[in-house]
Chain A
């Protein structure tokens, strides 16, 4: 079973990288603003519709066109934070804005059904030049589109992490997440930072959607499983930690594939959820948390 394990590990790694880049936005908004976007999966679905429509309409390379859904989601995220979430945060007295969680739950329902109304249920996919190509290394087969998507996802994620860690704005974001009042005293406009944070996360989500185009399809209800996995990844990796997301995503990918090898794909999902519960109970701050309390 050695080869099987290696193959499963490889596939898990590749998929995990993409899961990670999808989850980063959630991690950021949770870490900085304690906002839980219950519609993360539906946002991905919207971004994918944008990506597919663009790629199918213009015939551009799906990877080169990742700027389109990234920009679209970035702007959408900025506006959402500016006009809706910031107001709700002001009203919310407790540390964790539960109302935003509920609001986004309603938004998720709205998005799924608007997609249903606009596009119907027929899944949309693209035929790209990357489809069905595999790189053979001995008996190991590496799917070409997934490899490319993995690389881009990792690069983007690390780039965002670099931005957060090393740049002025990044420092402002970290300061705001650690202590909003003090950051304000330092002259940081926390509302603008919030908008920027949410926008950055949404933009990365948009880019990730483009990465799924070569080997996936979009339909109104496809977002759900990605959304929940994102939560698991964020908690695994520790909220606010981008590198934690990367590790968390890869772990999830590996469990899915290796679990699927020894058990079956459907039951491997139970493993993921079981791991999730274990992490919640024993290490709720995640493996690489930046925060002290759960």
Chain B
């Protein structure tokens, strides 16, 4: 009897399921008039769920303020969110689902390069404007001449440029970096970062050599092998791209194994909001080069930005971070385009995005750059050519800007060379 019941219920599910998805998806929503709907593809679950949270915070925070400031010519923005589960095929399915809804006039997403690379061609296919958010891989911007896919934040090309500038600056101030090492998780992010730095060594005039290049399986219980190799190779500068637990483990084991190599912490793991709580002063003197650091707000000296940052902290319980800023910028750029567009329709918004030229705008109020203008460059289309990746160093849990000069407050706080563990004990 029990079995029959279960079987019945499940058959009903099947019938319902098949019908429901066909029928329900087929019905057009009744037009509601006022709010302007923007579709979001974000990783709400899966391996990058944590970053998805920051992404959504950024979008929501921006939308709240845009609406408070009068919305788009009086009409409020409304986000329609779909979970990509951190998987490209799910992201693609959800993108198509949202693209079917005629009321959704633009899309934003999706944090990870993998998902963004899949939805970008779909944006072109369905002729719906897409603001790629935070993804750094250039694959999503190399789709040829189009008016639908835009990105305000840095891509791989920009990271190459800004790394080169940073190393050049180090050479100019008398502390050149001749040997580098990379330690990276074996994901897309890790591999492309390693490739980029290898290219820097091979092609630029800096004369740098890569002495160690170590891929690491993510979620390792133990990084001692890698750290011992780092010790032996003894580069001037190590680039470490790790996620989640691994970043915390790395900081701890660097001390355990007495490895004094100066390193740059990149990747999601080092940008966790409670990173300092977990590793404490082990993180002192860590270098960084990335989209954004909290110190930039001080550096920019804009009281409104400081106000907003404080409000963000009150709302979410922790400070802003780089993903939040990427989302904020993307949302504001989109809103600006909508205000200029001839009508609130996909084609018109796409045309308006093409003409974007923002300077000193709320869109970049947090950013280390103050201009957004899309152009074609080095094989990419509709990339913001004015983005930047500044460098910083961490002291007592706070990042302090060290490069470029216009973001440095007072005397440059850079401590180089980085003190050894023994020297730190003595301090």
Contact = CB atoms under 8 A, between A and B. Distances in A.
Interface of A: 4, 7-8, 11, 15, 18, 113, 116, 120-123, 125, 127, 131-134, 136, 141, 143-144, 146, 212, 215-217, 219, 221-222, 224-226, 256-257, 260-261, 264-269
B49 A116 contact: yes
Interface of B: 45, 47, 49-50, 53, 186, 214-217, 219-226, 228-229, 232, 244-245, 248-249, 252-253, 255-258, 272-274, 278, 280, 282
B191 to A, nearest CB: 10
Task: Specify which of A122, A143, A146, A226 lies most central, judged by the most chain B CB atoms within 10 Å of its CB.
Answer: A122
A219 B245 contact: yes
B217 A11 contact: no
B224 A132 contact: no
B263 to A, nearest CB: 16
Given A4-B232, A127-B278, A264 B49 contact: no
A97 B338 CA distance: 61
Contacts of A216: 221, 245, 249
Contacts of A15: 221-222
Given A121-B49, A125-B278, A127-B278, A133 B256 contact: yes
A124 B76 CA distance: 38
Contacts of A120: 49-50, 53
Task: Specify which of A123, A212, A221, A261 lies most central, judged by the most chain B CB atoms within 10 Å of its CB.
Answer: A123
Given A120-B50, A122-B272, A222-B219, A257 B225 contact: yes
A124 to B, nearest CB: 9
A215 B249 contact: yes
A265 B225 contact: yes
B49 A132 contact: no
Given A266-B217, A269-B217, A131 B252 contact: yes
Nearest to A222: B219
B225 A261 contact: yes
A69 B216 CA distance: 30
B368 to A, nearest CB: 26
Nearest to B282: A132
Given A127-B280, A212-B221, A265-B215, 12 more contacts: A123-B248, A131-B252, A132-B253, A133-B256, A136-B258, A141-B257, A143-B256, A215-B249, A217-B244, A224-B219, A257-B224, A264-B226
A123 B252 contact: no
A257 to B, nearest CB: 5
Contacts of A4: 228-229, 232
A257 B186 CA distance: 17
30 contacts: A4-B228, A4-B232, A7-B224, A8-B225, A11-B228, A122-B50, A122-B274, A123-B245, A123-B272, A131-B252, A132-B252, A132-B255, A134-B258, A136-B258, A143-B253, A212-B221, A215-B249, A216-B249, A219-B244, A224-B219, A225-B217, A256-B222, A261-B225, A261-B228, A264-B226, A265-B214, A265-B220, A265-B225, A265-B226, A266-B215
A20 B96 CA distance: 47
Contacts of A125: 245, 248, 278
Given A7-B228, A125-B245, A265 B217 contact: yes
B232 A11 contact: no
Contact of B258 (A127, A141, A260): A141
Contacts of B245: 123, 125, 216-217, 219, 222
Task: Specify which of A11, A216, A265, A269 lies most central, judged by the most chain B CB atoms within 10 Å of its CB.
Answer: A265
Contacts of B282: 132
Nearest to A257: B225
Contacts of B223: 265
A85 to B, nearest CB: 19
A131 B278 CA distance: 11
B335 to A, nearest CB: 29
Contacts of B252: 131-132, 215
Contacts of B217: 225, 265-266, 269
A224 B221 CA distance: 12
A132 B244 contact: no
Contact of A143 (B47, B214, B226, B257): B257
A120 B272 CA distance: 13
A121 B50 contact: yes
B244 A141 contact: no
A126 to B, nearest CB: 9
B219 A225 contact: yes
A216 B253 CA distance: 11
Contacts of B253: 132, 143, 215
Contacts of B278: 125, 127, 217
Contacts of B257: 134, 141, 143
A257 B226 CA distance: 9
A141 B217 CA distance: 23
Contacts of A18: 221
Nearest to A143: B256
A117 to B, nearest CB: 9
A217 B274 CA distance: 13
